[in-house]
Amino acid sequence: MKKLTFWQRVKSPTPKFFKKLINISLSVAAGAGAALMAEPIGKAVITDFTYTLFPWVEVLCKNLVVIGIVAAAIAKTTVDYKPTENTNKDV
C-alpha cells in the first residue's frame, strides 16, 4: 500500500459502511443544529414565541453538531483498498 495525501484520500472511493456513517452523522448534526436555531429564529419571527431550550439540551446539541461533523470528516477519509488485478502480461 502506498501512502496517500489528504486530497487523494478524500477523492478515493469510500467503503459502503462509512458512506452510511457519513449520512447518519451529518443527519444528527443537522437535527441538533436545527434545534439550536429554533429559539432565535422563532423569537425574531413571532413576538409571542416562548420556546426556550434547557441549558443541558443546548450543550448537548452543540456537542452533537461538532461530533457529527467530525465523524463525517473522519469517515470520508477512509479508503476502500480493493485488490487490483495485475494488468501486466508477462508472456
Compute the distance between CA of residue 10 and CA of residue 81 in angstroms, rounded to an integer: 13
Tell which residue, 33, 37, 57, has the closest CA to residue 45: 37
Cell numbers representing residue 51 in the block: 420556546
pLDDT, position 40: 83
Instruction: Note the pLDDT tens digit of each residue in 39-88.
Output: 888 778 887 877 788 899 999 999 999 999 999 999 999 988 775 444 44
Position 1 confidence tier, pLDDT thresholds 50, 70, 90: low
Residue with cell 426556550: 52
Threshold 0.85, pTM exceeds: no
Query: CB of 2 within 8 A of CB of 81?
Result: no
Where are any strands of DSSP class E within 1-91? Answer: none
